[in-house]
Structures are given as structure tokens and as C-alpha cells.
Structure 1
Amino acid sequence: MTAQQFDDYVKTLPEEEQVEFMYPYTVIREDGNGGYEAIRYHVEYEKYITPIVKLLNEVADLTDNESFAKFLRLKAEALTTDNYYDADVAWIDMKDNKFDMVFGPFETYSDGIKGVKAKYEAYVEIIDQKASEDLKKYTSYLSKMEEHLPIPQEYKSDASGLTATFVVVNDIIRKGEGTVGYQAVATNLPNDPEVHATKGTKKTFWKNMLKARFNGIIIPVSNRLIEESQLKYLSDEGFFQFVLMHEICHAIGPRVVKVGPNKGMAANASIGPNYNALEECKADVTGLYQLAYLMDEGVVDKSRREEFYVSFLGSLFRSIRFGLDEAHGKAAAISLSYMLANGGILYDEATNKWSIDFDNFEEGVKNLDGELLILEGNGDNVKVQEFFDQWTKETPALASAMKATEDLPIDVLPVRSIKWE
């Protein structure tokens, strides 16, 4: 089924059925009568969900942390209804527990038709309490960062009163969608626009995965591709700061269409599968734009400006090697190609080395950020596709970069063992 075939069929349905077909937690199947039906996940996957619900409730009975127990019970209930709002809010509000879990159907990267169907994933984590506490200072700047966006007022959202929980963890196991392809080092969840608008999000940072990716992937790739005089600025702290700002800025900017015929519709539903790459690029670039703002405000040490920007460049080369059909790879290609053409990034064809143009980088970031945010706020997939067609081509410079690193690993793949077995 193509996206157009899906849209044409859905238009023939009553409104309540249209909602079910676009719901993140339904499977679309042939109904045996020449049409299709939407089946809720909890019905389709009942034989898997039933034992999971039992175990979640058992763990809730064992813990002495009330907020963790509340989350577990609400998550168990949500798995049987596919209504996750209360469980998501309880997860964001969870406090003072040694452990955390990212658990349930969240990410929609694998939906190549409409980009709305979520896949189940699970992470079990040990919280680094001190590192998590150190990130709380960013919460008070969410509204200021929203207001600081380089777009007209009509495209901005109201971020006042929202919660941003920061959790630094070491994950001890990941399953489901969390093990497929790209290995996440951080996330900003839930993705539900209603939770974003009324409550906020939780930003999780997997410290052990961040370290593994920087040492195992970013350093070797950067040594091949970044101009030698700038390699001194590459650092794990610079990489972490970029990832931190990326996750913060998933929660900033339009989550619903602000202007045009689809005004009020969720941006991901309006744009379709292209939304994932657009949102990843927006989070990258908005993160850099807001990082400059926070350095100017004295929240972040501005003496490390070069470190942050070169570490971002190294991260782009890591991402683009996932390929131009993958959301993070496509997002990286946009940033590289746009700022190479419009200012901010330099390429030396003779040496096949890349570098940051520090004099023009922040202006290039601002210009690209404005374009990305407007595309999301308009929710027009035709315009998004035109933008992608312009900036995601495999140019000779990108092809040379890929050729120079083709013998290096694409990503880390965790191997875990249970020590007591």
C-alpha cells in the first residue's frame, strides 16, 4: 500500500474510523471484503501484552518508590487500552528512583507509509542521580528558548508551565525497536503532541552509549575527515552538549501545523514519513542555535564554543553514514550540504578534509533553522520534499567522505551478558 492509496481509502471512511486508521497504536489489515480495518495493538498483540502486564504489576508491588509504582501500574493499564496519556505523565513525574524504564510504543521511524505508527521498544536503566541533577538548570530556559526561535510569532508555541525532566542513565538492556539499526544515545519522549502541549517531556541520556559511540565511531571517523588543526576541539563533552541540546530542542518549535490548510493537525501526520528526517534536522540545528543563545546568556561556558561546533561536525559524519534513506543520515546530509553552500562549513577538495567556518557558522545555523521550523509549521509535504531534493543529494564531497571511511564501523552494537549466569 502506498501513502496515496492509504489516503484515498481513509477518505471514504466515517470520521471516527479515520481517527483509528491514523492512530499510532493500530495495525491496518485487509478485512476480507476488499477493504481494510484498523485493529488496536492491545487486541492484535494480546498474547504478548498479557504476561507483560502481569509482570509490571508484580514489580509495582515490590518497589518502595510510590511514583515508580504509579508509573508501572498506569503503564500496565495503558498497554491494555492503548491510551498512554496518564502513564506518560506519571513517567515524566517519577522521582527519586534508582531505576528508570523507557517502555512501550514510541518511535515511528519504521512507518514508511504515513510516519505515524509507533513500534514497541524497551530500555531498563540505572539512573546517575548527580549527572541528572546537574541538567535541571536548563528547565527554566524552555520558554525563553521558544521565544528566541528565528521565526515569526505565529509559528511559535506556548512553552510556559511545561515540565522538562532530564535523566542521565546507564542502560543495562534494550529490546524491541531499541535494538534495530541506529542505536539511540538519547531520546526526548513521549512523542504525543497532547503530552507535549499539556505536560512536557522526559529527556533520557544513555551515558554508556554516548561514551561508546564517541570513542568507537566519532573519533575514528573525525580523524579521517576533519581538518587536522581543528581535531583538538573534538571532545566527548562537546558531543554530549550537542546531544543534550538536540534532545531539548525536540520539544521546541511547532508540534502542530501553525499556518495553512492543515492548521491544527499534528505536524507528523500532515507531513508524513518525511517528518522524521525533518524533525531530526530541526533538533540538530535548533539545538546549535539555542546553544549559542545559552552561551551568550552565561548558562553554558562560551570559551568552549569551538569545541561544541567541531564535535557537532564529527557527529554529522557519524550520522550520514547511516545512509540518505535513514532519518538521521538524511538530516546530517541537509546540515552539511546547506551550510557548505550557504556558510558555516568548509570543504577542501584537495585533502578531502572538512572544517567549521567559525566566522560564519552561527549565521548559517540561524538561516537553516528558520527554514526548517517554517517547513514544520506549514505542514506542507510538497515543500518539504522539494527542500529534501535540493539538500540531500549525494554530492561529490559527500561521496568522497563516505569512501574515505567505508572500512570503519557504522555504529556500535552493544553486547550484554548477565553476570550471575
Structure 2
Amino acid sequence: MFSFFKRKKAPETPAPDTAPADTALLPEVAKTVAPPPAPAAAPAAPALAPGPSLAPAPLPEVELFIEETAERPTTEAEKKKSWMTRLKAGLSKTSSNLSLLFVGARIDEDLYEELESALLMSDAGMDATQHLLDSLRRKVKDEKLLDAAAVKAALKELMVEMLAPLQKPLELGRHEPLVMMISGVNGAGKTTTIGKLAKHMQRSEQSVLLAAGDTFRAAAREQLMVWGQRNNVTVISQASGDPAAVAFDAVQSGKARGVDVVMVDTAGRLPTQLHLMEELKKIKRVIGKGMDGAPHETLLVIDGNTGQNALAQVKAFDDALQLTGLVITKLDGTAKGGVLAAIARTRPIPVYFIGVGEKLDDLQPFDAEEFVEALLG
């Protein structure tokens, strides 16, 4: 489970020598490089326009990254045990109402009514809740299940079956570079997630370049720069201006430098802000002008605390950008983890990662069986 990514190599596509004509009007982007300059003996790199002097105090969520170095589990068995412990603890607010239903329960109509209430309270949504209950009733009848433990096991099986379409590994190495566009509303943990993903990719022997395309939120660029410094990753940025230009320049730099992955951060958007959603569409189009077929992954970061509102975000961003994957964060602070069932029934976009804490290893690939086991115990 802890092989975070699935790799697949594709034939190398030569990069174009010049930017396309319809990007010629994009403003010139000043590149700010997070890691220290290369030694003098290294081959000369293209001249970079000087950026502002950056010495921000690390934001609290970035500071927590430092704690990751202490006593990390080493063997696969230890890693899995550690992750399951954190996952169960993280989902405890969601699972408390569900798992307790089956303690000494009788298999009657009262149990189904209580189960319905618990699923709706977890924000599973009416469609997913009704589907699970109908399927469970049939299974109990067909298999003549008579005790609570057997009914609970049957519910686990049905939930895994429902969530299985969301389980898909993020494939690396399909393109050189693999271009990823990351979107999400403000407060979802998008920039922090990018920093964690960059570190995961480095563990998978992938070189990474980041683009600070969130030019609207205060300190967003500086926050990404801190993550770049922590991970020794180059960050392409500018103090202000067109985020599409930053994205285009990052793709060109990624091809020139021969990096494996380019991740483009974008400004937070509410799906109701149609003029700002149009800006996201523009960024995606411009990335495509920088490299044919890019972005290869278009991800949405969702705050698990938002429950059914998260489902509305998935629909709106998918309609605008044709999402390829989701990252669901902050499941450790919510009783609304059932929203994954609602997503599976309504808009089954792969959930590449889920997060149950601030530390690096608290972001892990989504596994349907593990999730259900943590939820129902």
C-alpha cells in the first residue's frame, strides 16, 4: 500500500523550441528559485530575473513539517500499522455513530432506521444512504443473516464495493514532465498538500518543479516558497500578474530542466464565482499551449469538513476543468467522512490521496478497504 505511485514510462516527446504565437502577449515572468544557487562549476543556467527578498516566518502548517523527521516507521508492516492507527483515530468522529450501532443490536427495523440516520449525519447523502440500505436488506434476507456481527460485515462489504471505483493510483512517468494542475477553494489545504505531494514524489525518485500560480491570496507565494526550500525544489513565481503566465513559464522551465513532475498551484476559487472559474479554464488552456496534452492531471483538493458542500465543489470544478483526481484533506477533524460515499454515487472521480493530519505521512493513497475498516472497525 505504501508504494505511493504507479509508474509507467511513455516515449519521450521533444519540447518545442519556442512558445506558441498566441502566448506571446503573456507578461514576462520573473523566476524565483527556492533552493540555494548552483556551484560555480556547474553549467551556466539561463539568467533569472531577481525576485523579492523572501524571509517569511514559516506558517504554522508548514512548521509542522519539521516534526516528520522524528522516528518514522521503517518496515512496511510498521508503516501500515502506524497509518491504520492514525486513520482510525482520524475517522473516529465519523465512525462513532456507525460502529456503535451494532453493539448488541437486534436485526430489526429500528436498526435500519438508526443506520439511516447515522449515514445521513456523516454526509453520505440520500442517494448513497438509500442504496446501501436497500442492498443491505437484500443481503440480510438472501444470506439469512441473524446476528449483528454478520450484518456489520455485510455492510463493510457493500461499502467497499461502493467506494472501490474511487481507488486508483497516481501514475508517474507517463510524460516528461508530468504536468499537474492543482485547484481548490481557499482553506482546503491546497498549498500544504502540494508540499506534501512534492516530498512523496521525491521519495519515488521523481524530480519536482513547483509553480506559484496563486497570485491573489496573501502570502500564498511565500508559503509555497517555504515548501520549496524544505524540499529543495525550484519554485517558479512572480510577485503579481497573470497566473496563466506563471503556469506557462513553469511548463517551459520543466521541459528545459528535464524534471519529472511540474505542479501548478492556482488561486482558491468558489464554484459560484463564475468569472474566477473562467480564469482557471484559461490557465488550463495556456498550460496546454506550453505542452501538448497538458495538464496530464487536474486535481481538486477538498476539505473533508465541508461535507455535502464538497460534493457541490466536485461537480462545479469537474464541469469546468474535467477533473482527473481528488485529494481529500482534514478528515481527522470532521464527522462528515461519509461524503466519499456521496462522491462515489454522484461523481466517481478517483481519490488519489486522503489526509488525516498535518504531518507528511498523514497524507496517504486512498484504499477503499482500509477506509471502511477504519470507519466501521
Q: TM-score, normalised by structure 1?
A: 0.23
Q: TM-score, normalised by structure 2?
A: 0.25
More helix by share: 1
